[in-house]
Chain A
Amino acid sequence: METDELTPPVIALSGLTKRYGLGDAEHTVLDGLDLTIDKGEFIAIMGPSGCGKTTLLNILGLLDRGDDGDYELDGRNVETMTSAGRARIRSNQIGLVFQNFNLVSRLNVIENVALPLTYQGKHKTKRLQEASKMLGTFHLSEREYYMPWQLSGGQTQRVAIARALVNNPSIVLADEPTGNLDSRSSHVIMEELADIHRRGNTIIMVTHNPDLTSYASRVIHMVDGRIDSDTKAPRPKKGELAPKKPLGTKRKPAKKPRKTKARKS
């Protein structure tokens, strides 16, 4: 990470607290969390159920707001932003992969993948072109006009990942992206995430499966809304996890026009 000193951390949390309920029923899900994530990290968040992993991911994805503490994204405090501003960041900088896929059931695969581009104001032809290209990288070109229910679990998850990546986000947040898949499919998905990571994107993934942490450059264990351990794993050697076919050769990992544009706005 040579650029660490030059650029502010992508994500900086300080004292982030989230509570649910009121009075006696109040329950602290995130308890004063401090976390700094640099550009290009691949983070696996682990921990028992109810330790606040998903809540943390929701806050990081700007779907939720913390009750206390600060969240700075690219050096900007997003806790105090308007909902329209947060929507713009979600649209331009963040890609979300959900555990239960969350494809829109009445739209077909390519429309689902093109959905994030809609909110960037791109024209339909452009949207479908980009979505098609993205589906191509995930070997789903033949499934473009399938409806979500016609896909297998692995395909559905790949569609969900393709959708999260289509707007070229700088941060990818994945909530148990392999939760419902068998280990073979899991590794396929993980290799794809690792590939995205190699292109320079920041990936934050919640998982229950310790096997998958080997893909991550940093593993965070959470217990009761606090960080229990934070280990930076040595980055896996190049080529070790390389997929059989190189993915996204047309994309230029060094240049990220979307990100610089978003930062200006």
Chain B
Amino acid sequence: MRLLITNHLANAYESLRANRLRTGLTVLGVTIGIASITVVLSLSAGATKIIGDQVAQAGGAIAVVRPGSPDHDTQVNNITATLAGAQPTSSLTQQDVSDIGNIPGVSAVAPLMLIGGNVTTGSTTPNDAEILATTPSLTDIVSLPMSDGQFIDSVTNKDTAVIGTQLAVNLYGTDQAIGRTFHTHGMTFTVIGVLKLTNTPVNYNNVDFDHAAIIGIDSGKAFNQGVASIQQIDLRASNDSKLASVVDQVNKKLSSNHQGEKDYVVLSGDALAHPANELFYTVAATLTTIAGISLLVGGIGIMNIMLVGVSERTREIGIRKSLGASNTHITWQFLIESLAMSLGGGLTGYVIGYLVAFGVARTFLTFDPVFNWTIAGLSFGISLLVGLIFGLYPAVRAARKDPIEALRQYH
């Protein structure tokens, strides 16, 4: 027996077109759900890609050590879990940094210590500045070209700092900031270098270098009762092929330093690329929730409208059955109608999702959403599933109608 798919498609088209408003409103639920999913996925793929590109650009042989338990294994956990930066205390010490530096095959190691508080010139206080205490070797790992002046090094004074271009503009109204001063935590720093604009707020260091004031690790310790609270240790292996063995040895060394307690995690390769931007996760979590709810509501809408359609067309079902339609034919006729609605919603949602993603990306973010088959496939798959799940019951109900009862019904 043939399923008469083309015939059912023509049929579904006719009956959906006959009730345009009803169909449109029903489809809207699925559209919103799929659009949200597309936005979340394309932007998260974009963020992942940008970090991957950074690592690749930096030569690839980079690993980072972060405090906290190992990385969450699923996307959902990643979204809902407490952020790494929100750990109450850091388990990484300066001893760990120097021990990692002594491992053969490590060409450079640098601690990153993010310090709270504001920087101020006395009259201007930008509120999005980040204070990063680190060592000069950071430039060996992260590409940080200077636009002016020099990076902090072993001979520069304790009260000197390198600042990002945007911070210079925010503080002094110009990026010509060499020799100017700013205050933080009761100390006065002199700017000895300005970084080139990097425009990478999303990166594996979780530091927006354009807004950062970089000071020496010793100054940073002074703000923290003499303790280095290290959020991250960056390291570079001397070449790509050694990275795996270096990561292995770092794990061993830290394990003995930490008495076997796994309160740190060594990330390299793709694991680095997990975006760790707090705003991003908030947006992602919100949109995922909206997507889930609206897909559910959209699905219920489809089911509701399909049930209305089935009872409206009871007589037609009776006629079709009396003319030789089997239960399978009737099931498919209605199932294809609900699938047409959900897939239509999926397609428009996919397109609208990318429009929104590009809008958001171009307005608030520094990277573009990514197109790939996974997102397209997932949007398609989810809308197919919604249409199937919520269309099956009305379709089966239609097919089970007794032809005589159905014929007896008047509109």
Which A residues fall within an 8 A CB radius of B? 58, 61, 63-64, 83-84, 87-88, 90-92, 94, 96, 98, 102-106, 115-116, 118-121, 124, 163, 167
Enumerate chain A residues within 8 angstroms of B4, measured Cβ to Cβ.
118-119, 121
The reply to whether B328 and A119 form a contact with Cβ atoms under 8 Å apart is no
Q: Does B60 contact A (CB under 8 A)?
A: no
4 closest A-B pairs (Cβ-Cβ)?
Answer: A91-B324, A87-B326, A121-B2, A119-B324
List 18 additional A-B contacts (Cβ < 8 Å) besides A58-B404, A118-B325.
A63-B407, A84-B1, A84-B328, A87-B321, A87-B324, A88-B326, A90-B324, A92-B324, A98-B407, A102-B319, A102-B407, A103-B319, A106-B14, A115-B320, A119-B325, A120-B324, A124-B6, A167-B324
Enumerate chain A residues within 8 angstroms of B320, measured Cβ to Cβ.
104, 115, 119
The reply to whether A106 and B15 form a contact with Cβ atoms under 8 Å apart is yes
The reply to whether A96 and B326 form a contact with Cβ atoms under 8 Å apart is no
Distance to closest chain B CB from A126 (angstroms): 12
The reply to whether B15 and A91 form a contact with Cβ atoms under 8 Å apart is no
Contact A163/B323 with A106-B15, A106-B18, A118-B7 known, Cβ cut-off 8 Å: yes
Residue of A nearest to B323 (CB): A116
The reply to whether B404 and A87 form a contact with Cβ atoms under 8 Å apart is no
The reply to whether A61 and B322 form a contact with Cβ atoms under 8 Å apart is yes
The reply to whether B7 and A124 form a contact with Cβ atoms under 8 Å apart is yes
Residue of A nearest to B318 (CB): A102
Enumerate chain A residues within 8 angstroms of B411, measured Cβ to Cβ.
105
Residue of A nearest to B18 (CB): A106
A-B residue pairs in contact (CB < 8 Å), sample of 9 = A63-B407, A64-B403, A87-B324, A102-B407, A106-B15, A106-B18, A106-B316, A116-B323, A121-B1
CB under 8 Å from chain A, chain B span 272-329: 315-316, 318-329
The reply to whether B324 and A116 form a contact with Cβ atoms under 8 Å apart is yes
Residue of B nearest to A101 (CB): B319
The reply to whether B404 and A83 form a contact with Cβ atoms under 8 Å apart is no
Distance to closest chain A CB from B310 (angstroms): 15
In the complex, A84 Cα to B15 Cα: how many Å?
25
Enumerate chain A residues within 8 angstroms of B403, measured Cβ to Cβ.
63-64
In the complex, A22 Cα to B388 Cα: how many Å?
38
Chain B window 338-365, contacts with chain A (Cβ cutoff 8 Å), 1 for yes, 0 for no: 0000000000000000000000000000
Tally of B interface residues using CB under 8 Å: 26
The reply to whether A96 and B323 form a contact with Cβ atoms under 8 Å apart is yes
Distance to closest chain B CB from A161 (angstroms): 13
The reply to whether A119 and B322 form a contact with Cβ atoms under 8 Å apart is no
The reply to whether B319 and A83 form a contact with Cβ atoms under 8 Å apart is no
Distance to closest chain A CB from B320 (angstroms): 7
The reply to whether B324 and A88 form a contact with Cβ atoms under 8 Å apart is yes
Distance to closest chain B CB from A92 (angstroms): 7
Distance to closest chain B CB from A118 (angstroms): 6
B18, B323, B325: most-surrounded residue (chain A CB, <10 A): B323
In the complex, A104 Cα to B313 Cα: how many Å?
9
The reply to whether B319 and A87 form a contact with Cβ atoms under 8 Å apart is no
Enumerate chain B residues within 8 angstroms of A115, measured Cβ to Cβ.
319-320, 323
Contact A83/B326 with A63-B403, A106-B18 known, Cβ cut-off 8 Å: yes
Enumerate chain A residues within 8 angstroms of B321, measured Cβ to Cβ.
63, 87, 90
Residue of B nearest to A59 (CB): B404
In the complex, A84 Cα to B7 Cα: how many Å?
19
Within the complex, which residue of A58, A105, A119, A124 is in contact with B323, where a contact is CB–CB below 8 Å? A119
Distance to closest chain B CB from A45 (angstroms): 17
Enumerate chain B residues within 8 angstroms of A103, measured Cβ to Cβ.
319
The reply to whether A119 and B14 form a contact with Cβ atoms under 8 Å apart is no
In the complex, A90 Cα to B325 Cα: how many Å?
8
CB under 8 Å from chain A, chain B span 1-22: 1-2, 4, 6-7, 14-15, 18
Enumerate chain B residues within 8 angstroms of A58, measured Cβ to Cβ.
404
Chain B window 55-66, contacts with chain A (Cβ cutoff 8 Å), 1 for yes, 0 for no: 000000000000
The reply to whether A104 and B319 form a contact with Cβ atoms under 8 Å apart is yes
Enumerate chain B residues within 8 angstroms of A63, measured Cβ to Cβ.
321-322, 403-404, 407
Residue of A nearest to B400 (CB): A83
Residue of A nearest to B406 (CB): A63
